[in-house]
Amino acid sequence: MYQLLGEYGKSLEYSTRAMALLEELGLRSGVASVTGNIGIVYKNLGEHGKSLEYYTRAITLHEELGERSRVAIVTASIGALYAQKKFTDYNPTKAEELLQQAITLDQELGAKQNLYESHQILANLYSQENRWEEAFQQFKKYHELYQEVQSEEAQKKAAQVEQQRQIAEMEKRTAAERADAEATKRVLHNILPPTIAQRVVRGEERIAESFESVTVLFADIVGFTVLSQHISATELVSGLDVLFSQFDELAEKHGLEKIKTIGDAYMAVSGLPEAREDHAESAAKMAMEMVEVVKEFAGLGGDSHLQVRIGLHTGEVVAGIIGKKKFAYDLWGDAVNTAARMESHGKPGHIHVSEEFASAAGRNFSFTARGELEVKGKGVMRTYFLEVGS
């Protein structure tokens, strides 16, 4: 850099430091390059004798290392030095010989830029020696090679620009795909159990599992259809959103998995996708809190007092994903139908449960026997009401 700025004293200072370090490290190729650079500095300072001294050292080192390209460059530099009339040892014959050697070597190596520079120096040498025809031929070769190199450089630059454009486009697409993937993951984790969402992301297409013992919860807002006829659509949707969001919080609190909502009905399950022994207990606790939440809820009209009807049943289910685009995690089996019947045959403000659920919940809760009941699709069943606050 100091050489380019014309601060040759500084250039020599740093080159000398570099030379010492390179020699200490045993990096002979670096030593050879810096030696040649010092020769250039001395040439610019007009100290041609010193310049020739360093050029000669450099070419010897490059030859020993078999660095033919560097040999051609330094050979041309020495030739250019002998071609300068202000050089005390000016020798056009020697200059021509060295430049021709450099040209031959560059032709073998295909080093076009070094080649056209040597043709230019040789053309200038012939001109100052009044060898006009030879000067013209060398200028012609120089010009042809120069244009060729410039064209190749332009093509190379255009290729680099195109490559950079493609890389930028690829990075843009990758970033967009990554953002889409992250958005998809967020959506999946919102609509699917976390472990199921991870399996979907990994590429599993068919997810279906059997669970021997879970507790299914169904809840329905009593009289909602009549109430919905007396409030605006905005109030209806807003109110349900607030209420069901509270249900979602209860599900998270007690470790239940929300399955879906259908109109004003809410379905959740305890004991899957990760099995748990206390699934009946956790479902009971959520159901009792749901009754209290609905009792205190006033988000669907001024004087509306809502009640919820809840059904619980414990049994075996199959769980899995259906659909390709708007897919959902759902449950199937007799336990689902029975829980739904418990809800539909229940009473407002009560939690209607099956005998299987009461048995699974154990002695931690209080139940009121309802007796035998004819249940649609199930026949006669012995059912109970779970006492809220028990």
Position 6 pLDDT exceeds 80: yes
110 has pLDDT over 90: no
Check residue 303 and give its pLDDT: 57
Least confident among 27-31, 183-187, 372-376, 384-388: 183-187
Q: Which residues contact 356 (CB under 8 A, 6 or more apart)?
A: 313, 314, 315
* Arithmetic mean of pLDDT over the chain: 87
Rounded Cα distance between 69 and 279, Å, is 80
* pLDDT value, residue 159: 80
Rama region for 389: left / alpha / beta (φ>0; ψ in -120 to 50; rest): left
Q: What is the pLDDT of residue 137?
A: 92
Distance from C-alpha of 333 to C-alpha of 320, rounded to nearest angstrom = 12
Which of the four pLDDT bands, split at 50, 70 and 90, describes residue 261?
A: confident
Q: Tell whether the model's pLDDT for residue 335 goes beyond 70.
A: yes
pTM of the model: 0.54
Query: Where along the chain do the CATH 1.25.40.10 domains lie?
Result: 8-159
Average pLDDT over residues 56-64: 94
**Residue reference for tokens 């040759």:** 8
CA–CA separation, 139 and 127 (whole Å): 10
When pLDDT is cut at 50, 70 and 90, the band that residue 41 belongs to is very high
What are the residues facing 270 on neighbouring strands?
A: 215
Residues forming beta bridges with residue 329, ordered by sequence position: 321
Instruction: Tell me what the mean pLDDT of segment 354-370 comes to.
Output: 89
Which CATH topology does 206-386 take?
Alpha-Beta Plaits (3.30.70)
Average pLDDT of the segment spanning 347-358: 93
pLDDT at 189: 59
Q: Identify the residue whose tokens are 């007799």.
A: 334
In this model, does residue 201 exceed pLDDT 70? no
Which residues are within 8 A (CB) of 377 and not within 5 positions of it... i.e. 6 or more apart? 337, 341
Mean pLDDT of 61-71: 93
Can you state the percent helix, strand and coil of the chain, rounding each to 5?
60, 15, 20
Query: Which of 242 and 389 is assigned the larger pLDDT?
Result: 242
Report CA 160 to chain centroid distance, whole Å: 25
CATH 3.30.70.1230 residue spans of the chain: 206-386
Q: What is the CATH number of domain 8-159?
A: 1.25.40.10
Alpha carbon distance 340, 265 (integer Å): 10
Contact 302, 348 (CB under 8 A): no
The pLDDT, as a whole number, for residue 161 is: 81
3-state secondary structure of 128: helix
Q: Which of 269, 268, 295 is nearest to 350 (CA)?
A: 295
pLDDT digits (tens, 9 = 90+) for 127-178: 999 999 998 998 999 898 888 888 877 788 878 888 888 888 888 888 887 8
CB 368 within 8 A of CB 385: yes
Which pLDDT value is given to residue 26?
Answer: 93
* Beta strand extents in the chain (DSSP E only): 208-221, 257-262, 265-270, 308-322, 328-332, 351-354, 367-375, 379-386
Percent of the chain with pLDDT strictly greater than 90: 51
